[in-house]
Amino acid sequence: MSQRINKKPRFQAIFTIIIGMSLSFSSFAESVIEEVIVTAQKREQNIQDVPISIGTMNEENFNATVSAGADILALSARLPSLYVESSNGRLIPRFYIRGLGNADFDINASQPVSMVYDDVVLENPVAKGFPLFDIERVEVLRGPQGSLFGRNTTAGIVKFDSRRPTEELDGYFSASYGRYDQRTVEGAVGGKLTEDGTLMGRVSLFYNGLNDWIDNKATGFEEKNQLGGFEDIAARAQILWEPNDQFSALINVHGRVMDDGTPTLFRGNVITPGTNNLVPGFERDEIFLDAGTRQSQEQNQYGIIANLSYDFGNTTLTSITGFHTVTKNISHGDIDGGFGNTFDPPSGPGVGIPFDAETADALSDHEQFTQEIRLSSNGGERFNWQVGFYYFDEDIQIDTINFESSSFAPGIVDGFVRQNQSTEAFAVFGTVDYQVSDQLTVTAGLRYSDDDKDLSVVRTIHPLAFLGPFFGPIGPLDIKTGDSVVTGDISANYAMNDDVNLYARFARGHRAPSLQGRLLFQDGLSEAKTEKNHSFEGGFKSELMGGRMRLNVAGFYYEISDQQLTKVGGAFNFNELINADKTEGYGFEIDMEYVPSDNWLFTGGLSYNHTEIDDPNLTANACGSAANIQGCTPTDPVAANGELSLDGNSLYNAPKWIANWSARYGHPFAGGEIFVHTDWAYRSKIHFTLYNAAEHSDDSMLEGGVRLGYITGDGKYQISAFGRNITNDESLIGVIDFNNLTGFTNNPPMWGIEFKAQLGN
């Protein structure tokens, strides 16, 4: 649809899904599904043999998802129970699995979903936006991972593995060009570096750019094509040394430079009061902002990983050392979403802006060091095990800056807060697998974790200092926290036959205590104590129709004690950590892949997630609402303290339904193959804030993509045309609740062409 003012009812969304499926095409070269290898238990296994609900993406679906300049946010709703969002543009993605995540926008915010990139946890949310290129494997591990991965995995793990060097000469080159002068160039080449093949290498390069395409219509600030663009460059170099059959050493050096980026563009008064509809006349390519080109995003990050292993025969010793640093990071945005304010007219859009808000967050210093050592058995007949030690150390410095954006002194710094946080953690862990019989295997794991975190915060300038001494410097304020926790899991996998496995799993995970020190408009620090998740899961994994269909189904129930939540915004624009006494969730996930013939391939996924806060005493401030503010319309009851009760609410950014499907059809032509590929992702209603308000939700989002192309007979060359968000779905994906009805929306349709060449056999 060209524009959505009135949100589509549910039956219309379902009808659209059915029509999309009926128009789908699909195929691969073989009429049986390929085996999927995962490393969810830190060893290579067939996904069907692992007693965990796991989502994966095949290469074609993954490449389609991240085409047209898309970043890691494009993975949202592309797998069951996975949702991804950000209020920081292409930086700081926030992951949610089974409805569990953290909407806190601060740079030191912890998340219950860990991201593991090339076997190393990237803890800080800024580091999690590293581009995805030359990727071999994508895995989403659903539910607590309390044994092998441990801390901050109460919801699960998103895991990426880069392609490793091999002896064979191989690689690829791809280039695409699309709407708004979007261009992507990436490639890789690898092979043996010595004649005997003991030394191998691989170099991977990535470039992604987009021109500014959004016009500023603010009175006095008019400019065409002022914002919306970016340039993102990344590279990875790997050296693999295997001097004999026992020893292996892989060194991975990688980095990213992003310049001229546009942050999330907030749009004031973009929501029709009393509804969650976008206002009539909304246009994606128009904004009304007075910060202009002061808005920007920049980031430089680098890392090195040393992955060493030695095979002793019956056991293998593995050491993984990782060092990551962000040397430059800043995101500067016009948060109020408009121009001027009611005290400094003209002001808009709509009824005007009550007060201006222009801020920047910078990770001015960051270093993360991790070390894992584990010893594992090598394929025992009935008994296998792993034991290990893990160490984590991180130091970060965060600068939060407030700018005057009125006409009196535009761009002048009038608020400054610096946070210094250090985190040190270690863990010891172990797992055992015991094959009780030819059909039954039992797996159990245990992990002891110890975390310590120190935070020191100082505010040197208060944005309201002109009002008097109550609004002045403060600090340094110091706070420390820590905890020691035992987590783990136990599961059973029962092979009914060669094609069907039944499994059941109990898991306990934890998220370490968190600290918050955003003192721009508040004078105190906040702390959230340890979060614990107890989860029960069961299901089956099957290969049906003579190996032409894979169908995996999982059902789950979890109960979280002391869930860490963040009260973001509200009338006073505070950012405060809180703990919910109890949160419950239940649902199911279905993953399917079907190859009906040599010409067709279908994939599909469906998930249902119910989340509910169970805490009669938990409350939150509502949105700003005063005589000069177009506030929201809260629907929650008012508690005794004057705030809104959160008891019984679902979690933020937790859609009940996620559905995704893809189809591919290929037909021989001119010695090669012509193909059509389409992929779709749907998510149901979400709430953006802990409290419920008529304006702070989105009913649904359905985005689809299509690709039409030709592949040569030897498979080495491919040319295609593609489209993303081809139905022009217009959906809210977030709100700012302390000012007028401010929100931000999903990406526009993108169209383009792509050429790809394969190197090697």
- State yes or no: pLDDT of 630 exceeds 70: no
| pTM for the structure as a whole | 0.93
459: which strand partners?
417, 474
The pLDDT value recorded for residue 629 is 57
| pLDDT tens for each residue of 543-578 | 999 999 999 999 999 999 999 999 876 555 678 899
CA distance readout (Å), 56 to 78, 230, 505: 10, 29, 20
* Cβ atoms within 10 Å of 373's Cβ, excluding its own: 15
CA distance readout (Å), 560 to 103, 579, 580: 17, 10, 9
**Residue 736 — φ and ψ, nearest 5°?**
-115, 125
Decide: 566 and 576 in contact? Cβ < 8 Å.
Answer: yes
**Residue 22, H or E segment:** helix 10-22
Of the listed ranges 61-70, 448-457, 526-535, 548-557, the least confidently predicted one is: 61-70
**Residue 594 — φ and ψ, nearest 5°?**
-140, 130
DSSP string, 706-752: EEEEEE-TTS-EEEEEEEESTT----EEEEE-SSSSEEEE-PPPEEE
User: Burial letters for 715-745: b for 16+ Cβ neighbours within 10 Å, e otherwise?
Assistant: eeebebebbbbbbebbbbbbbbbbbbbbbbb
585: which strand partners?
558, 611
How far apart are the C-alpha atoms of 666 and 6, rounded to whole Å? Answer: 38
| pLDDT tens for each residue of 79-126 | 999 999 999 888 899 999 999 999 998 898 999 999 999 999 999 999
How far apart are the C-alpha atoms of 111 and 94, rounded to whole Å? Answer: 7
Mention the CATH class of domain 10-759.
mainly beta
The pLDDT value recorded for residue 327 is 94
Q: Which two tokens stand for residue 690?
A: 């802990």
Residues 6+ apart with CB under 8 A from 65: 57, 74, 75, 78, 679, 705
The pLDDT value recorded for residue 26 is 33
Q: What is the mean pLDDT of residues 177-201?
A: 96
How far apart are the C-alpha atoms of 542 and 46, rounded to whole Å? Answer: 12
Q: What is the DSSP letter of 267?
A: B
Q: What is the mean pLDDT of residues 188-216?
A: 97
How far apart are the C-alpha atoms of 422 and 395, rounded to whole Å? Answer: 4
User: Which is more confidently placed, 13 or 491?
Assistant: 491
- State yes or no: pLDDT of 1 exceeds 50: no
The pLDDT value recorded for residue 573 is 61
- Terminal C-alpha separation, the chain: 43
**Residue 626 — φ and ψ, nearest 5°?**
-145, -175
- State yes or no: pLDDT of 5 exceeds 50: no
Is residue 546 helix, strand or coil? helix
**Residue 13, H or E segment:** helix 10-22
- State yes or no: pLDDT of 263 exceeds 50: yes
Percent of the chain with pLDDT over 90: 81
- State yes or no: pLDDT of 207 exceeds 50: yes
Instruction: Tell me how far apart the 2 most distant CA atoms of the chain are, in Å.
Output: 80
Strands of 462-499 (E only): list them. 474-495
DSSP string, 388-450: EEEEEEEEEEEEEEEEE-STTSTTEEEEEEEEEEEEEEEEEEEEEEEE-SSSEEEEEEEEEEE
| pLDDT tens for each residue of 677-699 | 999 999 999 999 999 999 999 99
Dihedral Cα 135, 139, 140, 146, nearest 10 deg: -120
**pLDDT confidence band for 372 (50 / 70 / 90):** very high
How far apart are the C-alpha atoms of 71 and 85, rounded to whole Å? Answer: 11
Strands 214-216, 286-287: pairing is parallel
**pLDDT confidence band for 22 (50 / 70 / 90):** very low
